[in-house]
Every structure is written in structure tokens, then in C-alpha cells.
């Protein structure tokens, strides 16, 4: 679905970004991040004219033919579109964005009871959590708390982790994926909201178990670690979305970078900070990282440079590095310079999409799964907006 006003608006935006870059010959900075958020807020309000809230049509991605992939709330990505709206509202204070965020967020409430997934943080904290931050709505807080109560039912004390997937149970007794680090933010927050340390303790232990078992000596991460529930020992280390079990799937590296940076924020455990710093150095200095800092879908993909990029990995890493910059002062300037290059790259015509209601193109969901390859994906937009807000606030 395309909208002429949106295309014209984004064309003006691209031209203005190009003119600013030519005029200043400097990377994107605090002022430009704010201007970009202004433009994205305006563009999103145009997008909303074409997307009436529908509980079965939450934007997720785009098919190869350009048709939209729309999902119900059960999908793990359902929280990102309303979360993007909440973030843009927090910046712009436009009531149209707030109203739309409320409408799209409401569809996801029933997921607070879903005990068959580890993705409750993605679904409910990225939507209701952002909404609570923007409005102080007590109902939103209660939904986040219930989601955390549901999520910790998947915790296994012997393993010391929250179970990720339920599928492949015949070969994966207790799988834990690096992505699961992202869902801990909601648990840490729930302890702050309730005073009940149970959520913090479970999140802390999950992060510690992941720290001990998910990483190679070079600080790259395995995607999936499978545990024995009787002994708690690792059975095997595999991949589901990377090139192979020993490769460095780039979004997985970004999940780990973000997750351990966030875990340090909540716990002040220096081991988490050191791991985040090590992942950051691995990511930003990787020899297979392109000059524009937008990585290929896997650092070890066999046909680089003729491999799809993954903008979502870049935006997750960029947002994480902007938080890490506040903790790792020795590398603060390096991180910000790297992020500014990412944000500058994403402001170019190459990466901006005209497919409504998305913001960015060239993300990759799963090469092994053969879906969402080199297309807009909603979580890339979510972390892009978050990174811009963090950049604006530095």
C-alpha cells in the first residue's frame, strides 16, 4: 500500500537530509535527530490515514511483491507498531499519535495471559510499557505486571533460565535464544513497580546463565543453547536464524549487546557491563561490516558482499550503544560516532521506504526460514525511533 502524500513527504525529508549533510559535512547529531523525529512523526500521521486500527492487521512486514504482512496480537512482533507510535507521541506530543497508539495497544492486552511464549516483553513491554512511560496510565502498569507474572512461569530453576520456544520439543529439550535477553527489561521493571524482588532475581539469573553459556571466546554469540532440565547442563549449541551454528547472526549479536547493556543498568553487575563492551567491540570493528555500518544478515554469510543487509540489526545495536556510551566513558565518543554514521546512512534514500506504514527498508527476518528478506520490518522502525530519541537526549 502506497500513499502519494507520504511519498512526497519522505522525498522532501530525503532531500533535506542530503542538503544538511552536504552543507555541514558532519554526521547526524542531537539537533538533526530531533528534526528527523519531527519528520517521522509527521509522516506517521499521514500513514495512519491508511491504517484503521484492526486487531487482526497489526503491521509486521512486507511480502516480496510489496503486499503488507499484517498479524494478530499473538504474533511476537505485535507490540512494535504501537510502541513506535508511543515513542513518536512522546517526542511530538501530537494527540493523533497518542490516540492511534492507544487504539493499537488495546488489541494486545489479552497476550498478558499467554504462557506459551517468552516474547511477552516484546509484545507487552514495548507497547504497554512505552504507553505507561508516556501517560502514567495505571491500567498499563497493571498489564505489564501481569505479563511478568505470566512470563516467569517459563523459568526453570535447575537451568537458571526462562524457556524460549515450545516448538521442536522432540529435539530441543529446553531451548534458550539470545533474543530472550530482551524480555528481561520488563521483569526488572516489574520489581521496581511492585517491590517484589522475584522478577529481578529471575531476570538476573537468566542473564547470568546466558553470560556463562552463550558466548564464544571472541564474544560473538550462539543463537540457541539447549539445556538438560534434569542436570541444568548444556546439551548443544545451534542456530535457527544464522548461517550455521558457529556463525555470528548479526541481529543476535545486537540482541546480546542491547540485553547486557540493559542488564547492567538494572543490576550494576560489572560482568554484564564488560560483556556489553566486548560485544560492542566485536560488532563495530568486525571486518565484514560495510562502510555505512549497516551489517549483512550474518557476519559470516558466505557470499559477502552479495548478501542481504539487516537494518534491524543496525538499529538495535545503535540504540544499545547510545545507552552503553553513558556507562563506558572510555569509548563514549567511539560509540556515538558509530551510531551517527548508522543514523546518517538510514536517512539516505537507499534505506527509507515508501511502503506505508513502515519507515525503513532492507531488514532481514530469516534467511534459513526464507521469509522477510530485504524488506521493511516493524522492529527495525521501533529501535530506529528509540535510537533517535536517545541520540536527541545525549
Range of the domain at 8: 4-393
pLDDT grade for 170, boundaries at 50, 70 and 90:
confident
For 307, phi and psi rounded to 5 degrees? Answer: -130, 150
Judged against a pLDDT cut of 90, whether residue 190 lies above it is answered with yes
Q: Is 232 helix (H, G, I), strand (E, B) or coil?
A: coil
Most distant CA pair in the chain: distance in Å? Answer: 63
Whole-number Å distance between alpha carbons of 379 and 79? 9
When pLDDT is averaged across residues 141-149 and rounded to a whole number, the result is 98
Q: Is the pLDDT of residue 2 over 70?
A: no
Work out the percent of the chain whose per-residue pLDDT is above 90.
91
Indicate which residues carry an active-site annotation: 119, 179
Q: Report how far residue 97's alpha carbon sits from residue 90's, in angstroms, rounded to the nearest whole number.
A: 9
Query: Coil, strand or helix: which one is 61?
Result: strand
Mean pLDDT of the chain: 93
Other beta carbons within 10 angstroms of residue 15's beta carbon come to 11
pLDDT in tens, 56-100: 999 999 999 999 999 999 999 999 999 999 999 999 999 999 999
Alpha-carbon radius of gyration of the chain: 20
Does pTM surpass 0.85?
Answer: yes
How many domains, in total, are found in the chain?
1
370, three cell numbers:
526464507
Long-range CB contacts for residues 69-74, cutoff 8 Å, separation at least 24:
69/372, 73/107, 73/108, 73/110, 73/111, 73/123, 74/111, 74/114
Q: Using 50, 70 and 90 to split pLDDT, how confident is the model at 28?
A: low
Q: What are the phi and psi torsion angles at 177 (to 5°)? A: -105, 155
CATH code at 192?
1.50.10.10
In whole angstroms, what is the distance from residue 298 CA to residue 8 CA? 34
Over the stretch 275-334, which tens digit does the pLDDT of each residue have?
999 999 999 999 999 999 999 999 999 999 999 999 999 999 999 999 999 999 999 999
Q: How far apart are CA 273 and CA 330, in angstroms?
A: 13
Q: Which of 243, 244, 263 is nearest to 188 (CA)?
A: 263
Residue 339, CA distances (Å) to 246, 329, 351 in order: 27, 15, 15
- Strand duo 363-366 + 371-375: pairing: antiparallel
CA terminus-to-terminus distance, the chain:
36
- For residues 101 and 61, what is the distance between their CA atoms, to the nearest angstrom? 18
- Tell me the CA distances in angstroms from 242 to 47, 264, 324, 343, one per residue in order: 33, 26, 25, 25
Give the Cα separation of 300 and 21 in Å (integer): 32
**Contact assessment for residue 92 and residue 75, using Cβ atoms and an 8 Å cutoff:** no
Q: Span 200-219, mean pLDDT?
A: 98
Amino acid at each position: 500500500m502506497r500513499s502519494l502524500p507520504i511519498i512526497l513527504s519522505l522525498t522532501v525529508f530525503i532531500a533535506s537530509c542530503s542538503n544538511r549533510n552536504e552543507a555541514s559535512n558532519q554526521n547526524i547529531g542531537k539537533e538533526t535527530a530531533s528534526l528527523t523525529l519531527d519528520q517521522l512523526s509527521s509522516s506517521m500521521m499521514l500513514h495512519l490515514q491508511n491504517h484503521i486500527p484492526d486487531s487482526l492487521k497489526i503491521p509486521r512486514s512486507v511480502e516480496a511483491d510489496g503486499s503488507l504482512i499484517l498479524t494478530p496480537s499473538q504474533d511476537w512482533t505485535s507490540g512494535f507498531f504501537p510502541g513506535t507510535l508511543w515513542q513518536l507521541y512522546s517526542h511530538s506530543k501530537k494527540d493523533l499519535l497518542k490516540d492511534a497508539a492507544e487504539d493499537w495497544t488495546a488489541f494486545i492486552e489479552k497476550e498478558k495471559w499467554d504462557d506459551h511464549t517468552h516474547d511477552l516483553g516484546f509484545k507487552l513491554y514495548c507497547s504497554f510499557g512505552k504507553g505507561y512511560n508516556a501517560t502514567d496510565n495505571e491500567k498499563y502498569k497493571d498489564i505489564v505486571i501481569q505479563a511478568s507474572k505470566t512470563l516467569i512461569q517459563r523459568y526453570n530453576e535447575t537451568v537458571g533460565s526462562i524457556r524460549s520456544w515450545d516448538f521442536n520439543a522432540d529435539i530441543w529439550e529446553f531451548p534458550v535464544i539470545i533474543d530472550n535477553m530482551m524480555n528481561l527489561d520488563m521483569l526488572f521493571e516489574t520489581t521496581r513497580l511492585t517491590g517484589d524482588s522475584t522478577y529481578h532475581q529471575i531476570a538476573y539469573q537468566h542473564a547470568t546463565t546466558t553470560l556463562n553459556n552463550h558466548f564464544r571466546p571472541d564474544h560473538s554469540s550462539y543463537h540457541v543453547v539447549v539445556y538438560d532440565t534434569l542436570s541444568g547442563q548444556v546439551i548443544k549449541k545451534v542456530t535457527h536464524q544464522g548461517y550455521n551454528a558457529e556463525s555470528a547472526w548479526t541481529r543476535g549479536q545486537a540482541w546480546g549487546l542491547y540485553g547486557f547493556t540493559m542488564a547492567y543498568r538494572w543490576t550494576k553487575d560489572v560482568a554484564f557491563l564488560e560483556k556489553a563492551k566486548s560485544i560492542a567491540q566485536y560488532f563495530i570493528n568486525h571486518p565484514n561490516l560495510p562502510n555505512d555500518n549497516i551489517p549483512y544478515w550474518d557476519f559470516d554469510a558466505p557470499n559477502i558482499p552479495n548478501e542481504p543487509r539487516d537494518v534491524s540489526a543496525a538499529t538495535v545495536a545503535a540504540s544499545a550503544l547510545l545507552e552503553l556510551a553513558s556507562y563506558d566513558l572510555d569509548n563514549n565518543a567511539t560509540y556515538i560516532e558509530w551510531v551517527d554514521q548508522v543514523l546518517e546512512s538510514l536517512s539516505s534514500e537507499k534505506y527509507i521506504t515508501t511502503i506505508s506504514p513502515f519507515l525503513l527498508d532492507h531488514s532481514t527476518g530469516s534467511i534459513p526460514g526464507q521469509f522477510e528478506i530485504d524488506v521493511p520490518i516493524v522492529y527495525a522502525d521501533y529501535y530506529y525511533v528509540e535510537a533517535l530519541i536517545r541520540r536527541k537526549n545525549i
